[in-house]
Amino acid sequence: MSIQTGHRPAASESRSWERSLPALRADLVSAGLDDVEMLIEYQLPLTSKRADVVLAGTHPKTGLPSYVVVELKQWSAAESFEGSDTLVTVEQYGRRAVTHPALQVADYGDYLSSFTAMLAEQPHSLAGVAYLHNATDLGVADLLDRPSTKEGSLFTGQRRGAFVDYLRSLLAPGEGGAAAADALLRSKIQPSKQLLAVAAEEVQNREQFVLLDEQRDAYEHVVHAVERARRSNTKTAVVVSGGPGSGKSVIALSLVGELSRQGRSVMHATGSRSFTMTLRKVAGKRAPRVQKLFTYFNSFMTAEPNDLDCLILDEAHRIRETSVSRYTRKELRSVGRPQIHELLSAAKVPVFLLDEHQVVRPGEMGTVEDIEAHAEAMGLKVEHINLNDQFRCGGSEVFVDWVLRLLGLKPGGPVEWRGDDGFSVSVADTPEELEHVLRTRQDDGYSARMAAGYCWPWSDPHADGTLVDDVQIDGWSHPWNLRGDRSVGGAPPAALWASDPAGFGQVGCVYTAQGFEYDHAGVIIGPDFIWREGRWLSVREANRDPDFKNRTKVPDAHFDRLVRNVYKVLLTRGMQSVTIYSTDPQTREFLRDLVNH
């Protein structure tokens, strides 16, 4: 029996294998399946997730390649979580709720068939099973109530005989496992035609995706580049730049829909967990499978060159120097390719949609200059489309220009706000006034959020679920938005702060506001950015963002630029209005003079 592992195991994984793999191997031997290949810790395409084992062999009836995804659990006792048929609690995990293992392995199979070309063409060749080899039926009785399917069956150690029969029904004795394993490992990684068809129906047919002028130009340009790449086997990188509200994300989603309709292999990626999770929720609301097309920049470290026809990179100003993080497997950390190289390589037509004034974190590399330089080094042609002639921020190009000049991101210096139809700017004297203005808008049925510079500590919620009022200004206080992925105390998870109405009660930051728009924005300019003697001063000591603390990685000049970009992002989230409050009296007076002249 041949065993292959997808990576160098951690100590905890090795211990798990020592307990689980011998049990599975013994059952395969009992079934007479000595020649079946075991692909251990098989990485799901374009994700960091791994299936415990994929068994590769031939089907006893068809003689074609056959695969079984196996989820191994050492559980001895588990029960349904509050009567749910999808969540279970496990004693070894401290009673926390986790996904039913049969559903978990079914999801793995669904993902594999959606992104592995050979499995998409032969979906009948894939099955999934959860094997609780330490459990008796009594110990996991609730879990057995869930009906078994080909995609997700469950067996206990007590049902070992039935498990052996199950394996025999899907895998035949004799040679063939190695060839089946090799075929799977060599298979092209791309979205399946079935998934693209669903995406076309779900994403493209949305009336709100209306493209105008430069937006339509950019959209048609990308569609043409994909067709040209198909006809002549050429490769082109497209950069679409534009300010807030210029329609970059509308273009991106329209392209996902149209290219899916054409059967082109297309995916959408961002560098923002908040943005990606919201897009998954919006685009895949009625068809959860569509959510798989929305992923992250760091998902392409091991992607084969040009496997995709088109890779749409939204919010590309958030591209990092490298995809390596603390979660990256050891064997990939030494590869060290720039993230831009990975993204340029992954598709025949990589499309970068960005706003150069939204680089807000150290290590972000997403500028037109960066992309063009890396593309040129790779011998690629770059086509640049500028959307800056058209804005959707309340229809106010005037306001965005005013903000750029206010913050020194555009020459000319601050100017008086002279107004613009459909968009209003005001300065609040107190944080209470700021909140009152926004609450009135919210009560009238509009979306409204207040956000601030990162100038206050950020605490975890109390044990009872209440949030800590960290943002404190002259007796007024409110909590930051949550940092985690779970709702706590009625507040939405961080990724949904900008889109869930329950986010109104917390103060957002640039990391949860970036990429989103709401009707009315409230912005608290903290003590890290003040106006003195005719110029802005950035005050490092007043900033609490841990990413900005290292003066070697973030020298003062870089810090100053990042802080200006942070406030540019916050000030341009509103589509109808913005209300500004500064904690510094002199800065507040300066802003009031500009706005209320």
CA dist., res. 398 & res. 421, Å (int): 10
Tell me how crowded residue 566 is: count the other CB atoms within 10 A of its CB: 31
Q: What is the pLDDT of residue 9?
A: 53
* pLDDT above 70 as % of the chain: 88
Angle at 420 between CA 415 and CA 424, to 5 degrees: 90
Q: Which long-range contacts (CB under 8 A, 24 or more apart) does 490-497 make?
A: 491/467, 494/273, 494/274, 495/273, 495/274, 495/276, 495/277, 495/278, 496/274, 496/277, 496/278, 496/281, 497/274, 497/449
Q: What is the pLDDT of residue 398?
A: 84
Q: Kindly indicate the confidence band of residue 336, based on its pLDDT and cuts at 50, 70 and 90.
A: low
CA dist., res. 136 & res. 128, Å (int): 20
Strands 347-354, 308-313: parallel, antiparallel or unpaired by DSSP? parallel
Q: Does domain 193-386 bear CATH number 3.40.50.300?
A: yes
Interval 288-312: pLDDT, tens: 778 888 899 988 988 889 999 999 9
Buried b / exposed e along 126-138 (16+ C-beta atoms within 10 A): bbbbbbbbbbeee
- Give 445's contacts (C-beta < 8 A, 6+ positions apart): none
Per-residue pLDDT averaged across 393-407, rounded? 79
pLDDT for 48 beyond 70: no
Q: Which amino acid is at 401?
A: D
CA dist., res. 192 & res. 46, Å (int): 14
- Give 253's contacts (C-beta < 8 A, 6+ positions apart): 203, 206, 209, 268, 279, 283
Q: Lowest-confidence range among 296-310, 467-481, 554-568?
A: 296-310
Collapse the DSSP code of 323 into the 3-class scheme (helix H, G, I; strand E, B; otherwise coil) and give the result. Answer: coil
Q: What is the pLDDT of residue 360?
A: 77
Structural domain boundaries of the chain?
2-186, 193-386, 397-595
Collapse the DSSP code of 362 into the 3-class scheme (helix H, G, I; strand E, B; otherwise coil) and give the result. Answer: coil
CA dist., res. 294 & res. 266, Å (int): 10
Interval 359-382: pLDDT, tens: 778 878 888 889 999 999 999 989
CA dist., res. 148 & res. 140, Å (int): 14
Collapse the DSSP code of 422 into the 3-class scheme (helix H, G, I; strand E, B; otherwise coil) and give the result. Answer: coil
Find out whether 310 and 255 touch, Cβ atoms under 8 Å. yes
Q: What is the 3-state secondary structure (H, E, C) of 336-391?
A: CCEHHHHHHHHEEEEEEEECHHHCCCCCECCCHHHHHHHHHHCCCEEEEEECCCCC
Q: What is the pLDDT of residue 181?
A: 93
pTM for the whole structure: 0.61
Q: Lowest-confidence range among 153-157, 217-221, 255-259?
A: 217-221
